[in-house]
Chains A and B, each alone.
Chain A
Amino acid sequence: MIDGLILPFLVYFVGAALVAVIPFARGRAALSILVPVIGFYLIWNLPTGQHGQIGFMGFELTLLRVDKLSMIFGIIFSLAAFLSVIYAWHIRDRVQQIAALLYAGSAIGAVFVGDLISLFFFWEGTAIASVFLIWARRTEGAFYTGMRYLVVQVASGVILIAGVALYYRASGTIAFDKMVLPMLWPGHWDTGALGLWLIFLSFGIKCAFPLLHNWLQDAYPAATVTGTVMLSAFTTKLAVYALARGFPGTEILIPIGAIMTLFPIFYAVIENDLRRVLAYSLNNQLGFMVVGIGVGTELALNGTAAHAFVHILYKALLFMSVGAVLFRTGTAKGSELGGLYRTMPLTMIFCVVGAASISAFPLFSGFVAKSLILSGAAKEGYWVVWLILVFASAGVFHHSGIKIPYFAFFAHDSGLRPKEAPTHMLIAMGLTAALCIGIGVFPSLLYELLPYKVKYVPYTTTHVITQLQLLFFSALAFTILMRTQIYPPELRSVNLDSDWFYRRAFKAVVHYAAVIVQAVFWGVTGFINRAAIRLVDELHNSHGPDGPRAASWPAGAMVLSIAALLGLTLIVIFFS
């Protein structure tokens, strides 16, 4: 309690501590549901402004900076935590229950901080808490995957604090406010500029920028059924918040975001694991938000906040429905699934709601949020970027909107007849689906939470018809490609992505370097050893007990050698 306010993240941390000691699994689950409710109540009633200043090693940290931007992320994180723990009601595993609360608490803590040092603590908090959701799978593969995830996430934090140190040295401030990223021209940069770039890079790693992205697709499908739902909500959206707070209007974010929307959709089409397909599409959705931050106008930043809000909901819904399929059948692979609509119709319907939302169908949440970003980019005249975003929107519908429900619930009959998802999962999915539709039908509910005043009207004739055209013709393309059997079939496979470089190429380089170093080492030491042994042997031969030098010499030999020496002396004296 600081300034008469209870810090929202403390509720989560105290909740996690209580969960650690409650002996009954149901009690732990019930408390886990209660925590986000209390947290939500506290956040909703926070007064605007900066509170909770504390001294720390000579710095003044601000633990509570409340404005509309931190508020909307605090609200959606609370909602996501609430829905995820309902979905995870069946979990008996204490580790996962604790990790879930610590993870959500860290993320909520991070969005309310007002300085970069506190940000660092919560930033690492999300990394360390979340890895347990991957390790909770308790397989060898999950252990290694978790390790890779942890290395990347902790590295992001270390880069952040390094950047903050340099930035502080140059500017004398640790305030987490808008920073201007300087261009790094040769001869034109200093340590302060380097610090800002390090901060930017650290945000970029967590936000899954192109080529820094692969931890996401690697780790998310490796987590437990419920862990993936948690993971999908917090880490990357925290990074989006950090970028929106720290680097709005940074132009380089526009091409970065455009590439992010683009390349994951190609992978999503050929990926077999449906949870990894969703991870790729998550990456693509982040691209839209990053473009919005890069454009940086009020319209575009509103778009980013709105899109992050709705995205957390529909992405969680999609992960929940695919998770429910995994929960009942033991697999989330497109090649093994199909025809599940017969026995899991409700899960199918919730999945379709999530799919329609992510595809931005009118009356679903994606429609009222994504269009803010597209309009924001178009208004500033970014024609190429706009074309890419429209293509990416169609592509999202293609792989997330059609592919996920189609291969899981329809397509060829896999013969699997699993039971419908358990009630608590249906409740979680139902609530999330209701929110997706509710926001789509009443966009003003969302618009009121946005950081800037909204004058945007999503439901215009042009917008509705053009969007429907885009989506239905994408569906037409899917149908035609499916019926002509051009569409690539789902195959049990792994597709190489940028992680190949550190999982295979780098490993091979290290391996071969080790082989060479080893060969040189053994060669040199072997040569020295052999030479030393030979020398010792020779000395042994000549000077050893049996060697010629050790043999006893006769006295006559001594007389002879003295005579020879005397003769030599005489000759020398004679001639000198």
Chain B
Amino acid sequence: MAKRKTEKTEDYPALGRWLMFLERPKAVEYIVYGLYAVCALLILLDFFYTKIVYFDTERYWGFYGLYGFFMCAALVICSKMMRVFLKRGEDYYAPTDTQGEDHPDHDLMKENVHD
């Protein structure tokens, strides 16, 4: 945190400086609590309207929320397990692949705010 406090932000765009409220302590916590609250609200809303749907499955209370949550968790865990079998070093296909090489400078315009 000490490093952040000394960061020179004068050169940053105004919008970026404003967005740096995200770095305040607890800012992320508040966002996460906000997300919990929105999720709770959305799933409770299911009590208050009649679903017009195609399948009976959709009629279950909170189907979309729970399906999204558990399938996404399963997606990430499956992917993580796939990594065990599929992950190789960046130079695996080198030199016939671009993954292991740097993007050439003639196609770039690297500039930093402090330059």
- Restricting to A86-143, which residues have a CB under 8 Å from any CB of B? 90, 136-142
Which one of A253-261, A432-440, A489-497 contacts B? A489-497
> B104: which A residues are within 8 A, CB to CB?
137-139
- Restricting to A367-400, which residues have a CB under 8 Å from any CB of B? 375, 378-379, 383, 386-387, 390-391, 394-395, 398
Contact partner of A141 (CB less than 8 A), chosen from B46, B73, B94, is B94
B12 with A394: CB separation less than 8 A: no
Contact partner of A477 (CB less than 8 A), chosen from B43, B62, B68, is B68
A270 with B83: CB separation less than 8 A: yes
Contact partner of B113 (CB less than 8 A), chosen from A144, A326, A419, A469, is A419
Interface assignment of A539: CB less than 8 Å from any CB of chain B: no
* Bound-state Cα–Cα, A503 to B92, Å: 11
* Bound-state Cα–Cα, A468 to B58, Å: 14
B98 with A481: CB separation less than 8 A: no
* Bound-state Cα–Cα, A460 to B58, Å: 15
* Bound-state Cα–Cα, A144 to B97, Å: 7
B32 with A342: CB separation less than 8 A: no
A417 with B55: CB separation less than 8 A: no
B113 with A473: CB separation less than 8 A: no
B83 with A488: CB separation less than 8 A: yes
Contact digits for A322-346, partner B, Cβ 8 Å, 1 yes 0 no: 0000111111100000000111111
**CB within 8 Å for A221 and B98 given contacts A341-B16, A469-B65, A473-B39:** yes
* Bound-state Cα–Cα, A560 to B37, Å: 126
B69 with A343: CB separation less than 8 A: no
> B82: which A residues are within 8 A, CB to CB?
266-267, 270, 495
Interface assignment of A222: CB less than 8 Å from any CB of chain B: yes
A476 with B111: CB separation less than 8 A: no
* Bound-state Cα–Cα, A462 to B99, Å: 44
> B9: which A residues are within 8 A, CB to CB?
342
A90 with B68: CB separation less than 8 A: no
A141 with B32: CB separation less than 8 A: no
Interface assignment of A461: CB less than 8 Å from any CB of chain B: yes
B64 with A346: CB separation less than 8 A: no
B35 with A466: CB separation less than 8 A: no
* Cβ-closest chain A residue relative to B114: A417
B80 CB, min distance to chain A CBs, angstroms: 5
A494 with B88: CB separation less than 8 A: yes
B42 with A465: CB separation less than 8 A: yes
Contact partner of B87 (CB less than 8 A), chosen from A221, A420, A495, is A495
- Restricting to B91-115, which residues have a CB under 8 Å from any CB of A? 92-115
A219 CB, min distance to chain B CBs, angstroms: 9
> B15: which A residues are within 8 A, CB to CB?
345-346
Interface assignment of A452: CB less than 8 Å from any CB of chain B: no
| With A141-B95, A398-B76 already in contact, 16 other A-B pairs whose C-beta atoms are closer than 8 Å | A137-B103, A267-B82, A330-B103, A330-B108, A341-B16, A342-B16, A342-B17, A391-B71, A395-B75, A419-B113, A460-B52, A472-B39, A477-B70, A478-B72, A480-B73, A488-B79
The residues of A with any CB-CB pair to B shorter than 8 Å are: 90, 136-142, 144-145, 221-222, 224-225, 265-267, 269-270, 273, 326-332, 341-346, 375, 378-379, 383, 386-387, 390-391, 394-395, 398, 410, 416-420, 422, 460-462, 465-481, 483, 486-488, 491-497, 503-504
The residues of B with any CB-CB pair to A shorter than 8 Å are: 9, 12-13, 15-17, 19-20, 22, 32, 35-36, 38-39, 42-43, 45-46, 49-55, 57-58, 62-73, 75-80, 82-83, 85-90, 92-115
List of 9 A-B pairs having minimum Cβ-Cβ separation, nearest first: A378-B54, A144-B96, A269-B79, A141-B98, A477-B72, A345-B15, A469-B64, A473-B69, A473-B65
